[in-house]
Amino acid sequence: MVNPESTPTLVIKNVSKKFPGVEALKNITLDIYSGEVHAVLGENGAGKSTLMKILGGIIPRDSGEILLENKSLRLENPRLALQAGIALVHQDLSLLPYLSVAENIFLGRWPKKGISVDWEKMNESTNQLLNRFQVKVDPRALVGTLSVAEQQLIEILKAISHSHVKILLLDEPTSALSGEEINRLFQILKEIKNEGKSIIFISHKINEAVKISNRITVLKDGEKVITDTKPNLDEQTIIYHMTGKYINLKNFHHTPPTKEKTIALSLEEIGTKFYKKKISLNIYQGEILVVFGLMGSGKTTLARGLFGFETLEGTIRLFGNPVTINHPKIAIQLGIGYIPEDRRFGLIYELPVYANITLAILKKMIRNGVLQIKKEHEVAKHYVQALRIKPPNIFREILYLSGGNQQKVLLARWLAREPKILIMDEPTRGIDVGAKFEIRNFVKGMVQKGLTVIYITSDPLEAIEMGDRIVVLRNGQIVTTFNNPLGLDKSEILAAASGVHYGRENDG
């Protein structure tokens, strides 16, 4: 337990950070004590990751001061942060798969014997570190052969292998782990804490934060709302501080959807090699089905599987007919479109607007073996006008468009293909309010014409505004379904996705 009379190891004083049009952090003040796990919670956009990146030396603060053991830190880059004693473990692991565990842990500081690497010493040092935390992994094993959970542990051990590290920053460390793997990770964190190191734990999963932490800080819209000890912050109170509203966690309403509608897509006992829990779900023609989940919930894995990027086990029926989708080409032929979570993987930035729009319908643009450039231009102009893409110049390279207009181009590409089902993964992430409004309204208009949309988001307000139904995923499993979500409080969705409440599975 933290002694409030002791001197904090890390002091964050009035730290602020602005990005164009956004005040990400507003005068954040926070103390971190030796030997504590301090959870930092908040909704998307609350400022958690920005604070971690500042502490990790990835981005500079605009104002404020950071002191470690009463010494003011500059933290101009990650190397200086690590030298000062602060190690950041990202959600996206940075290990090199074709190097061994030992090589990864001591990367950049391999011990030498003369002019050669002292492999024996490096493997022995790694073995001592692994034994210290009871991690049963061969130091010589290639990291690429390890499970995600084992890689996560190696990443953490790599950080604390620097003996001078006093502060360990963990950003969503459990996002891809199972329940048993999370328990093992938490045991490691307790052992690290008992050595006197401090851990700042970032997570969307409220129940996990409550379980592992000594104290909890809640951020909202870039400001600190509260810091308190775990006994004073139950899950309901935390959600209140995150969202501004109290909710009755037992009051989840489920209204069966209309059965007369045509089932466009039926998923029967769907799973992957990573998510063993099966999903069964009916998606109706002409509806927007929102799939809501936080990081690591499995929502993107499901989306990629339905488009053929991942291997799905189980039965998929398209308008009643069994189909096998093992490649994106098959998905496209079946009338399924997919807008990925990161538009960088969907756009070709060196090509102009018109070429990006017609990329999925090039065969239709060819006549007698010749590409009909004029026809390409006509199609592109139609969607540029319909989606209000700015500037309305079809010859401008995608690279020079804003994020919102790039997203509109990606949407235009699939609409030009006239799909039966369109999967949209975080389609409004990172774009301005105006572009969000236009994209949402256009999608709703297309649904009224018969398009079926699977709309994936981690924004609870967006889920409510867009969904005819909302399916909540957690750990690769449907934990609850909200039918007729108009008027639903976002806190209820957040609670279900965070594991505060397990709703009754209901695939409609």
Q: Where are the domains of the chain?
A: 10-243, 261-335+420-508, 345-418
* Per-residue pLDDT at 5: 57
Same CATH fold, 261-335+420-508 and 10-243? yes
CA angle 426, 427, 430 (to 5 degrees): 80
Domain 10-243 has CATH 3.40.50.300: yes
The three-class DSSP label of residue 360 is helix
CA atoms of 270 and 283, how far apart (whole Å): 14
* Per-residue pLDDT at 293: 86
CA atoms of 488 and 490, how far apart (whole Å): 6
* Per-residue pLDDT at 185: 87
Q: How would DSSP label each residue in 160-175?
A: HTSTT--EEEEESTTT
User: For residue 397, what is the DSSP state?
Assistant: B
Which has the closest alpha carbon to 90: 10, 171, 154?
A: 171
CA atoms of 97 and 453, how far apart (whole Å): 37
* Per-residue pLDDT at 21: 64
pTM summary value: 0.63
Print pLDDT tens along the chain (508 aa). 566 557 899 999 999 998 866 788 999 999 999 999 999 998 766 888 889 999 999 999 999 999 999 999 989 999 999 999 999 988 767 899 999 999 999 998 999 988 899 999 999 999 999 998 888 899 999 998 988 788 888 999 999 999 899 999 998 887 666 667 788 889 999 999 999 999 999 987 788 888 899 999 999 889 999 999 988 888 888 888 887 776 554 444 334 344 467 899 999 988 876 665 688 899 999 999 999 987 778 888 888 899 998 888 889 999 999 999 999 999 999 999 998 887 777 888 888 999 999 988 888 888 888 888 888 899 999 988 888 887 788 998 888 877 778 888 988 898 888 899 999 998 887 665 567 777 888 888 888 888 999 999 888 888 888 899 999 988 888 888 998 787 788 888 888 887 764 443 443 4
Cross-strand bridge partners of residue 397: 352
* Per-residue pLDDT at 276: 58
- Residue 69, classified by CB atoms within 10 Å of its CB into exposed (0-12), middle (13-18) or buried (19+), is middle
Q: What share of the chain is helix, strand, coil (3-state, %, to 5)?
A: 35, 25, 40
Is residue 349 within 8 Å of 409, Cβ to Cβ? no
- Residue 94, classified by CB atoms within 10 Å of its CB into exposed (0-12), middle (13-18) or buried (19+), is exposed
Straight-line distance from the first to the last Cα atom of the chain, in angstroms, rounded to the nearest whole number: 47
* Per-residue pLDDT at 260: 63
User: For residue 344, what is the DSSP state?
Assistant: G
Q: Give the pair of three-digit tokens for residue 486.
A: 């108009």
Q: Give alpha helix (H) positions in 94-215.
A: 101-105, 119-132, 148-160, 179-194, 206-212
φ/ψ region of 225 (left if φ > 0, alpha if ψ in -120 to 50, else beta) reads alpha
CA atoms of 141 and 155, how far apart (whole Å): 14
Is residue 226 within 8 Å of 218, Cβ to Cβ? yes
Which has the closest alpha carbon to 295: 82, 464, 15, 49?
A: 49
Question: How many other C-beta atoms are found inside a 10 Å radius of the C-beta of residue 240?
Answer: 18
Whole-number Cα distances in Å, 258 to 284, 464, 468, 501, 502: 9, 18, 11, 26, 24
* Per-residue pLDDT at 68: 95
Which has the closest alpha carbon to 302: 459, 475, 440?
A: 475
Looking at CATH, the fold of the domain delimited by 261-335+420-508 is given as: Rossmann fold (3.40.50)
CA atoms of 124 and 102, how far apart (whole Å): 9
CA atoms of 179 and 202, how far apart (whole Å): 17
Parallel, antiparallel, or unpaired for β 279-284 and 263-271?
antiparallel
Count Cα neighbours of 322 within 13 Å in the Cβ-side half-sphere.
4
Is residue 129 within 8 Å of 157, Cβ to Cβ? yes
Task: Kindly give, in sequence order, each residue whose CB lies less than 8 Å from that of residue 445, ignoring residues fewer than 6 positions away.
Answer: none
- Residue 75, classified by CB atoms within 10 Å of its CB into exposed (0-12), middle (13-18) or buried (19+), is buried
Q: Give alpha helix (H) positions in 10-147.
A: 48-55, 78-84, 101-105, 119-132
